[in-house]
Structures are given as C-alpha cells and as structure tokens.
Amino acid sequence: MLPLIKNEHPRLYINTEKINYLKNLITNDPFLSKLADALSKNADEMIQQSPTEFKIIGPRMLKNCQQILTRVTTLNIAFLLSDNKKYVERSKQELFTAAEYPHWNKDHFLDTAELCTAFGISYDWLHHELSENDRAIIKNALINKGLEPGLNEQKNGWWIEHKYNWNQVGHGGLLIGALALADEEPELCEKIIHNSINYLPIAFHTYSPDGGWKGGPEYWEYTTKYSVFIMDALKTALNNDFGLSKTAGLNTAGLFPIHAAGPTDLYFNFADADPEHKSKPEYFWLGNEYHSEICINENHRLLQKKLKHNEPPTAFDIIWYQPYAENVKSLPKTALFKEVNAFFMRSKWNDPNAFFIGFKGGDNQADHAHLDLGSFVLDAMGERWAFDLGRDDYDLPGYWDFKEGGERWQYFCLNNRSHNTLTINDDIQRAKAVAPIVKHSSSKEKSFAIADLTKAYFPHTKSVLRGIALIDGKTIVIQDEIVWSGKEKKLCWNLMTDAEITLTGKEAILKKAGKMLYAKILSPIDVEFSCSSAERKPPEKQNADYQQLSIKFTEKLETTTLCVVLSSKLKERLDLISLQDWNL
C-alpha cells in the first residue's frame, strides 16, 4: 500500500498543479473569484482572533476542534492562493496552541479525529513553509496525541465497526493524519491506513441503496463531509480509494439533502438535526465524481445565498469547485429513500412559495432517532407551518439511553408527543419499532405515501396506517386508520407550529407573516381542534415560540379513521377515501 504514496507535498486534495489551476480559474470565473475574495477576507479576520483554547464541555470539545480545522484550512488555502506568509504564521499559532493541549480528548474520539485532520492537512499543505522545528512540533503532536491513541482505539474502540458517522470521522481523521506522515513514519501509518480501509466499508454501506441516511440530513452532512474527505485523500495521495467511491448509493447520495430541504431552505430535520440547509463543498465533489450537475448547481445556489449574508465559504468550496452547469433538468417532485423510509413531495422546484411535505416512517433505533414514526413537516407559501423541534441538549441525563423505557424517551423533543404524529393512550411509541412506507405514488395532480405505524403502538392497536397526500399542489390530506385492541381508545393528533392559531371547532386557521393556512377535520364528524403551548422548563429545551394544534378524543368504535385537510383555501371540498383505495 505505502509504496504508492506520492513523494511530494502537498499531496492531500491538492498539489502544485491543482494550485496553479485554481489560481488561473479564479481569474476567469467571476463567481469563484468572489468566493476566493470572501475566503481571503475571512482569513484576514482570523489573523486578529486568539487561537482556540483548550475547553471541554460535558464529555466533548468538538466545536473547538472543528473550529481549529476550519481555521487552519482557511488560512492554509489563503496562503497557497496568495503566497502571503501572514496566513502561514497565523495557522502555525493555531496549530502550536493545539499541540500544547494536555490531550486531544480521545475518550470522545470525534475530537481527536478532527484534530488529526487539521494537523495532517496542515503538515502536508504547509510543509515547504515550515522549519524543521515547526514540523517536529506538528508531527509529534499528531503522533503522540492523535495517531498512537487512535491506533489503540482501532483495536478496541466501541465505534470502530459503527454504521454511522463515528466510523467515517474516527477512521477518516486517522487516515488523513497517517497519509500526511506515511513516507516518514511508514510502520505506524501503514497499520492505521490498513485498519481504516478495513473498517470504513461498514459505514459506507449505510448509504445503500439510494444515498439516504437514517441519521437524518444534518448527520448526512457530517458523515458525507468525512466520506468525501476520505475518498479524495486516498485518490490524491495513493491514486486508489480501495473501492469506497463505488459503494452502492453514493452516486445518488447528494440528492438526499436536496430532496429533504423544503423551499424555505429548511430540512425535514428528523433525528437530532438542525433545520438549516446550507452550502456544503461535498456537493461539488459528489457532483463531479458522479456527474450530478444538480449537486453542483445546488451548491452554487446556496453559496450565493451565503455570500449575500456575508458568510464565508470553506477552503473546500474552493478546492472542489465546479463551474455552474447550464440547462440542467429539474429533479422529480417526489422521492422515496427506501432504507430511511422517508418520502418527500413538492408542488414545484425553484419556487419559494411551493408546497412541500417531508414524511417518514423509519426506525426508532436508527442513529440519533426520535420516537417520531409517522411524523411530517410542511412548507407552503414561503413559510414553514409544521415543524420538527430537533435535538435537545446532548448532555441531558440519559440522553443516549435508547432502550425501551430509556430516559432518552422521556424528553419532550425526543418522543412522539412533540412530533407531528399520533399519541395513543397517552403512551410513547415503542423504542424498537420500525415503520415502512408501504405504498407511494406520484402524478401531476396527486402525490402520496402510506406508512405502516402498527409496531409503534403495540399493544394498544392491531393496526395503524397513516397516509399523506399532496393534491393539485396546494392541498394536503393527512389520514390515519386505526384498528384498536383493548378497551382504552384515547387518540391524540398533533401539529407543531409557530403560527398564530384561531380555532373554530372542526376548523382552524393558522396565520403567519400575513399568510393563512386552513385546517379542517373531515373525520370523525364529532371531534374538534384544540391548542396548547409546547413550552417546557429547563433543563429541557423550552420551545417558547411553538404551540401544538391538536385533536384529542376517546373512541367508542373498534376502528377509527381520522382525516385532516390542510389547504391555502378557506373552502376545500374533498371526499373521504379509504387508504386501501388511494390511487392516482
């Protein structure tokens, strides 16, 4: 393996030829020139900032480690594009400060991995600008606080065969650090590279079959950032990514966050995710690698938005930059991600006022999962109307206790009581339940998906099906069909919103930013809407700006069909059709 290592610096992601190519492209591509200027301005601001201090909050210092990686890559690429050594000096300050940390917090190994990435890239990119003593400081810290503890972790760490982001970040950071030193420390680095290549496919296969990610769109971002770091590091340093880029699903992985983001540029942020859909340089890399011009153009769009808000690009937006592609066809207006059991539908692309629904079945034991089977979010008329509250504080007691009855599930934001789904007999969903999307279809006039939620509500029901349809691009139908078991038959339907709510019995009006969304209960005929605050007390997230539109009642029959229509029109007339008869 190691005899193939390129005997040059830089060799990770860029080389002298790539740097010259970028310099030339900057003079000929106006948008890349704007990005480069914004990055240089950000690097100049970093020069005035103090180096990142050693600070552990709870079990982690991850944000500080990520800040170091962002800073040094920004400063380093600013130097390589300008030859201005002020950026080298400031990058060295950041690195030397982190080199003196008492440790790199290997017990929360994501922290160590981020610093291995920062130090490996910096050692490689700045190699010719570093004195022998400078190199020794960076190299010794990388080995003693990163690679050697990491090699021990690769023998018995809990995360080494993990199927989600800890795998890519942990092994990826070690791999990048090892590739930077492989010609100088071949014995240590060969072991790390061998282990990484052995374990990485376990997590890469989680992209199969279609690029969706059970851990939600934000953890797709973190995972895919490192997946691309890994593949490109191997390709540039060894001319061989050992088949990782051929993993099933990776060729369409870039489409998952695009479909998962509504026209408000907010994600369906399930699974401990923040909602904001921002630019990400991996869009450029994936777009180039898999000939997906949609991904390239999406990053252009999001970067333009970022520049308007005076937010800087990253170093890898420059390194992986691809020119805008003309005459690219729009994606389909619906998408099913099979393993995730998530379905996305919208009335239009490239219309900020379009209707959008993100709907999921899912797996309550998936990475970062909430008890949210059957939940959805809704965008319409330029606003988000139905929300997922997202994560709570990771350091809350028992936050990672996923077992049935685990303390994780007692937190409001993490169980079905806060999500846009059902609560039956005041009980939370079963922690090990899986809910497949059992039927879906799409046409110009109607799109829909049906999820089987039965396992989530054991032992209270024999069957629970939820269908959500988007009709004529402006009307949403949410229909639940329940077959009860046992005598207790209490049902609660929820929609989380930050809109002002006006109740009129079987109808409700949601008002926001001068716009209105109308809700109407089609079935049962004898129930009404209610409204309650979503606010909670510390230490839980307080949710002060949110309230829940609810339907609560006790059923007397053996079966229940609950159907709610949401529309931008006051009077929307629809017939009630059984889910088994839902067709185009």
Is 302 in the same domain as 393? no
Is 281 in the same domain as 352? no
Rounded-to-integer distance, Cα 174 and Cα 225, Å: 15
CA distances to 55, 105, 413 from 58, in Å: 10, 12, 20
Evaluate whether residue 325 is within a structural domain.
no
Is 222 in the same domain as 120? yes
Evaluate whether residue 500 is within a structural domain.
yes
SS3 labels along 193-218:
HHHHHHHHHHHHHHHCCCCCCCCHHH
Burial 165-203, CB ≥16 within 10 A → b, else e:
bbbbbbbbbbbbbbbbbbbebbebbeebbebbbebbebb
Q: pLDDT of the chain along its 584 residues, tens only?
A: 455 787 899 999 999 999 999 999 999 999 999 999 999 999 999 999 999 999 999 999 999 999 999 999 999 999 999 999 999 999 999 999 999 999 999 999 999 999 999 999 999 999 999 999 999 999 999 999 999 999 999 999 999 999 999 999 999 999 999 999 999 999 999 999 999 999 999 999 999 999 999 999 999 999 999 999 999 999 999 999 999 999 999 999 999 999 999 999 999 999 999 999 999 999 999 999 999 999 999 999 999 999 999 999 999 999 999 999 999 999 999 999 999 999 999 999 999 999 999 999 999 999 999 999 999 999 999 999 999 999 999 999 999 999 999 999 999 999 999 999 999 999 999 999 999 999 999 999 999 999 999 999 999 999 999 999 999 999 999 999 999 998 999 999 999 999 999 999 999 999 999 999 999 999 999 999 999 999 999 999 999 999 999 999 999 999 999 999 999 987 767 889 999 999 97
Is 371 in the same domain as 312? no
Give the pLDDT confidence score for residue 271 in this predicted structure: 97
Neighbours of 331 (CB within 10 A): 15
Query: 């629809």: which residue's tokens?
Result: 574
Residue 407: CATH number of its domain: 2.70.98.70
User: Which two three-digit tokens encode residue 273?
Assistant: 């995710």
Residue 246, Cβ density class (10 Å: 0-12 exposed, 13-18 middle, ≥19 buried): exposed
| DSSP SS3 for 357 | strand
Residue 123: CATH number of its domain: 1.50.10.100
Is 279 in the same domain as 362? no
Contact 435, 452 (CB under 8 A): yes
Domain count, the chain: 2
Evaluate whether residue 327 is within a structural domain.
no
Give the pLDDT confidence score for residue 2 in this predicted structure: 54
Evaluate whether residue 584 is within a structural domain.
no
Q: Residues near 577 by Cβ (< 8 Å), separated by ≥ 6?
A: none
Q: At what angle do helices 86-99 and 109-125 cross, to 10 degrees?
A: 150
- Per-residue DSSP letters for 215-276? THHHHHHHHHHHHHHHHHHHHHHHS--TTGGG-TTGGGTTHHHHHHB-TTSBB--TTT---B
Query: 């998408």: which residue's tokens?
Result: 335
Is 230 in the same domain as 156? yes
User: Which two three-digit tokens encode residue 88?
Assistant: 């080298």
Record the pTM: 0.97
Is 368 in the same domain as 297? no
DSSP classification of residue 580: G
Rounded-to-integer distance, Cα 94 and Cα 90, Å: 7
Give the pLDDT confidence score for residue 188 in this predicted structure: 97
Contact 167, 200 (CB under 8 A): yes
Nearest one of 117, 221, 211 to 165, comparing CA atoms: 221
Contact 424, 415 (CB under 8 A): no
Evaluate whether residue 564 is within a structural domain.
yes
Evaluate whether residue 575 is within a structural domain.
no
Is 314 in the same domain as 360? no
Evaluate whether residue 577 is within a structural domain.
no
Rounded-to-integer distance, Cα 439 and Cα 452, Å: 9
Nearest one of 235, 289, 244 to 4, comparing CA atoms: 235
Q: Residues near 213 by Cβ (< 8 Å), separated by ≥ 6?
A: 206, 207, 219, 220, 223, 224, 253, 256, 340
Q: Which of 319, 354, 387 is the last residue of a domain?
A: 319
Q: Which of 254, 287, 319 is the last residue of a domain?
A: 319
Is 362 in the same domain as 248? no
- Per-residue DSSP letters for 166-188? HHHHHHHHHHHHHHHHTTTSHHH
Is 357 in the same domain as 438? yes
Rounded-to-integer distance, Cα 466 and Cα 482, Å: 9
Q: Give the CB-side neighbour count of residue 535, counting CA atoms within 13 A.
A: 4
* Structural domain boundaries, residue 395: 341-570
What single letter denotes the amino acid at residue 522?
L
Query: 């053996």: which residue's tokens?
Result: 558
Rounded-to-integer distance, Cα 306 and Cα 500, Å: 30
Evaluate whether residue 364 is within a structural domain.
yes
Nearest one of 102, 143, 153 to 119, comparing CA atoms: 143
Rounded-to-integer distance, Cα 45 and Cα 67, Å: 14
Is 84 in the same domain as 214? yes
Is 502 in the same domain as 472? yes
Q: Which uninterrupted H or E stretch holds 508?
A: strand 507-512
